[in-house]
Amino acid sequence: MTKILFGSHPFLLGFDRLESLVERTVKSSGDAYPPFNIEQATKNKYRLTLAVAGFSDEELEITVEDNQLIVRGRKIPIGRDEVFLHRGIATRQFQKNFVLSDDISVIKATTVNGLLNIDLERFETETKVQKITISKE
């Protein structure tokens, strides 16, 4: 039996980009830091929550580029020498990537109690019905 790749299935036209998006996501999902949750609040609303204890709002960056939600955290050096007897709170820099479908938008981002909440919403689109007329060449 021959394995058919998703992007090369004969009935799926124009989905070849989806395969590369999946590959990119799999490569970037290896790091478990920082931990995160994805909640579905309603049929079309989602909340992505990342545990970002120790990061200020200025040290976090959220961007959407090419249908990819990118969350970065980078500590700003304070300039003082700290001596830790025990350091259990991780504050290393990170980057988390999430692939968004074309109909999902970022609504807002908030921080509360060391958690970064990113609210997402799916905008329903009307079903398109298009009649194609056949012309003679």
pLDDT tens digit string along 41-95?
Answer: 999 999 999 999 999 999 999 999 988 899 999 988 777 777 889 988 878 899 9
Please list the residues that pair with 108 across neighbouring strands: 119
* Of 75, 48, 49, the residue nearest 60 (C-alpha): 75
Instruction: Tell me the β-bridge partners of 124.
Output: none
Q: How far is residue 97's CA from residue 27's CA, in Å, rounded to a whole number?
A: 10
In the 8-state DSSP scheme, what is residue 30? -
Q: Which segments of 8-134 does DSSP mark as H helices, in order?
A: 16-28
pLDDT of residue 118: 97
Domains and CATH numbers, the chain: 31-76+89-124 (2.60.40.790)
Nearest partner of 22 among 7, 8, 11, 2, judged by Cα: 7
> How far is it, in rounded angstroms, from Cα 52 to Cα 34?
7
Q: Tell me what the mean pLDDT of segment 129-134 comes to.
A: 80
Cβ-based neighbours of 122, under 8 Å, separated by 6 or more: 43, 44, 45, 46, 101, 103, 104
To which H or E segment does residue 99 belong? strand 94-99
pTM comes to: 0.75
